[in-house]
Structure 1
Amino acid sequence: MSHTFGTTFNLGTTLVAYNISDVAGNMATCTFNVIVQAAGDTTPPTITFCPSDVTVEVKSGITSAVATWIEPTATDNVTLVNLSTVMSHTSGTTFNLGTTPVVYNISDAAGNMATCTFNVIVTAAGDTTPPTIIFCPSDVTVEVKSGITSAVETWIEPTATDNVTLVNLTTVMSHTSGTTFNLGTTLVVYNISDAAGNMATCTFNVIVQEICLQHTEQSSTHATATSDKAVDGNTNGNYNAGSCAHTRCAI
């Protein structure tokens, strides 16, 4: 065994292993953790160093690069505690063109966690050409019945290409397809950027409007003129009260 019953363990998590063998040398293993934690510890570790964004520039045509950084560090309010670090990427990893978030989660023995995040940005040197929008939706109109004040609208997402092959384009939009829009006109904006920060923009409107119907009512009221000229200007002796147009929204 790695430890015996009654051993003193420090704060944190320690793996205990028992290897049990028979006379023929066949072995079975039992493993478990001994976890020593401070009672009532609800304070996460304090990040004492977290790297800033890391930018690596490569020549045109190169699609990836190795990025390195100094590892984040942290302290805890409980002395001698073993801090546990789980990261999305390690220093020395190869990153593709574009922006990649790197996350370090640092936990103490009580499970309290602090997080350090930064970006690794791989850019193509000399790239000043923005992406090319190859599809941008036209204005989208949706009609609703009277009394309805909003509607859900969907559309095909804009698409773009870039002059640098295999580049990771980043899209930031004001609204996503499937959003609920209020009555009226709302501007939707998509900003699409390449790894060098060059940006192209796609804009269109979402228009939510009530369905309105128009009908005309003809008056049935007539009068007989008392003079040679009718009150409506006609000489046929008939009075035409005219028509009245009404516009209303459908119910």
Structure 2
Amino acid sequence: MRINSHLSCFMILSVLNCASMAVDPTIYNCPDDITTLAELQGQTTAKVEWTEPTAEVNYGNVAVLVFRSHSPGLLPIGESFVTYIFSDPNDDQSTSACEFTVQVTQVDDRSPVVTSCPNDIKATYPYGTEMGTATWEEPTATDDSGVAFIHSRTNYPGDSFYLWTARHEVKYTFSDAAGNLAYCTFYVTFEAVDTQAPVVHDCPELIQVEVALSQNGSFVSWDGPIVEDDSGRFDVKSESKYEKGSYFPIGLTHVVYSFTDPTGLQSECSTDVVVTQVDLLPPSLLNCPEDITVGVATGEDRTAVYWEEPMAEDDSGQATLRLRSHQPGDIFNIGSMANVRYTFTDSSGNDVVCRFEVAVVEDTERPDIIGCPGNIERTVSTDVNGITIEWNGPMALDNSDYVDLLFQSHTPAESKFYKGETKVTYIFADSAGNQDSCTFIVTINIDASLPTTTDETTGAGQTGSNDVILILTLVVTCLSVVIILISVLVLIFVCKIKTPTEDLNSLEKKLAETHHYHIDTSDERSANRKKLDPSQGLPPVPEDTSYMELNVKTRQDEGPYYLAPT
């Protein structure tokens, strides 16, 4: 109930009559919400009574009823909103309302109606058995509410009954949602006669097997069928050359089983076995990109990003790009982390997804150059007019995973260098335009004392093949010394040969003067002395190695070493 009142008095020189001013009506006896029940069957309305409200204004004056949504009497099923509006007879702007709801609810007090209740049943059973089986179509029921269900039953169709009772009562109880009950009752009696063929249970209706495209068939097995007969005995005969567990070819194979009891009653069970070649494997991805991070220069808020699009292959011979969330060249905002998806599918609907992320970041870092060569200096003869030089070019890494070689002034083993200094420059840049460079100097000196050569690429002092030959010569020399050391150690244990002290002193002096090794063969049977220059190679080994020994005395060891040449 809602009451609105407005009262104002003004004192000027005399007291005004406030009762004559507009005031919202005062409502009496506004009903509370009302709930009532109605029968479910056929009713769309119900009679509802209530005491109607009244209203007054200005000290007992009757208010005017200007609106009423419903009157006591018939109301529809469900919820109704009832409204009364009263106004001041002197001022129709001053109103009050009375509001309440009326809920009419249907109730179900009628029992369900049973339909198709079976008549009494006469069933047969094989001789010599103690129980008989009866079957019937179960009864049904309807109800005003629209829902009636089986509440209970004494027996199910197919139940077995003891034969020592001549007459068996079967009772079904139905109920609706309101708990009203209805019943169906019938009786089952038995006669001793063999009319029951073998009963087949769990006979498969359809057996489907999928194999790979490379297979021509499959071994197939299944559960069932299960066979029962009153006699307890029956013969099983298959009319198909295929049985469960057999190897079935691609396609459909019809399998039929026949079951016969002793009285000749027969039952059959048939099923279809379908072996289908299908593509069970999804396509295989090719070159799915790794996650991509692209840097942009300060002030830029977006950039286009490119990548090599992935591909896929499938054993069916065809893999199709079904969905692509982005494509190379799309614009990505800075700070975003976009998930890029490529979905490929084959003709059998198998999918494979290539996923990678694209991130755009502000990049202010320059690329990091690795392996920048140091300055290179070479000396050539006067007749060499430019040489080529080998070096390992630098590389660059960047936090954006993208770096490009913008500029290369010279190419190793291809560019020619001439007398004087030449600056070699590499410039690298990342995707944001940050750059860094590698610079080194190649110096070519001219030495008139070097022998001349007609091959400008093989002049003395150049790296190329001369450096390789020098390195190989040093390696061979070192290996030769090692072999000599090993041979002398063997001779020390075998021959126990020693050299006079004066020979060691002489050898030490010559080593100090020439920095060469010497071979000393002076002894009682030989007066020959040979000089060994490692750059000229080792002399041949004589047949009697005891007459040729290499004597070395060092400042670190007072005792001599005896080295047999190899």
Name the TM-score class by shorter chain: 0.3 to 0.5
Larger fraction in strand: 1
TM-score (norm. length: structure 1): 0.37
TM-score (norm. length: structure 2): 0.17
Which entry has the higher C-alpha Rg, 1 or 2?
2
Q: Which has the higher contact order (CA 8 A, sep 6+)?
A: 1
Larger fraction in helix: 2
